[in-house]
Amino acid sequence: MTTEYSSFERDLDAAFFNYAHLTGAVELYIQVLETPALQRAFSKTISGQEIEWKMIHRFMSLANQTVVWYPELPVGTILQQKNTIIGLLYGIFLSRMIGLVDYYFSSVLKSRFCHTEKSGSSWDAFSQKAKIDLLVRKNGAQVYSLLQERHKIEHNKAQIDQTFVDRMLKKGVTHSYAAGDSIQKSHLDVLAARDAIKEFVADVDSLMT
């Protein structure tokens, strides 16, 4: 394996670690908001009083003063957004994982081919310079799909549009989406994405040694 792959693998594992624990923290927070008994137990531990939470705000203490930096909201209002919050974290970390693939490509392009790609994506440039059809590598079509999903999560509110469908058709990549669908993922989907990305880059990297 190349040094570029070693760096990629380390960063991918770190991203997945962060995803697992940040989503765990958010899910615990949501569970507390949904469970008055947990609210009372938490309040008892912190303040010595059993309190059920009606309103939530964010604050920090500065020079013995409490500074509220996010206004209070009813618990129910926050709970209505729980799926959106988890979905946001998925989008952030999918973007991070795909970004690591692109950084691997960029690093190899620079170190092996003295090429610096400025288009925002190194997929096509890497394929051309290294003379590797990335779509036929292990999980290549799946990773390409994730690349396109990432773009829709970031720029189209996680909605599949006709551009996505046409682009996938042009590349000959099969998928289950139709225009108008919403991208929704579970933790197991994130795990599968991590594994597919890791195997894809390892397969590509095996051709670079």
Contact of 74 with 54, CB cutoff 8 Å: yes
Structure-token pair, residue 123: 């997929």
CA 14/CA 107 separation, integer angstroms:
19
Contact of 88 with 72, CB cutoff 8 Å: no
CA 105/CA 100 separation, integer angstroms:
9
Contact of 139 with 196, CB cutoff 8 Å: yes
Contact of 173 with 145, CB cutoff 8 Å: yes
CA 205/CA 191 separation, integer angstroms:
21
- Tell me the per-residue pLDDT of 81-94, one tens digit each, with 9 for 90 and over: 998 898 889 889 98
For residue 59, the tally of other CB atoms under 10 A from its CB is 12
Closest CA to 33 of 74, 89, 94: 74
Contact of 104 with 120, CB cutoff 8 Å: no
CA 126/CA 123 separation, integer angstroms:
5
Read off the pTM. Answer: 0.88
- Tell me the per-residue pLDDT of 139-158, one tens digit each, with 9 for 90 and over: 999 999 998 898 888 888 88
Q: How confident is the model at residue 56 (pLDDT cuts 50, 70, 90)?
A: very high
* 35 has a pLDDT exceeding 90: yes
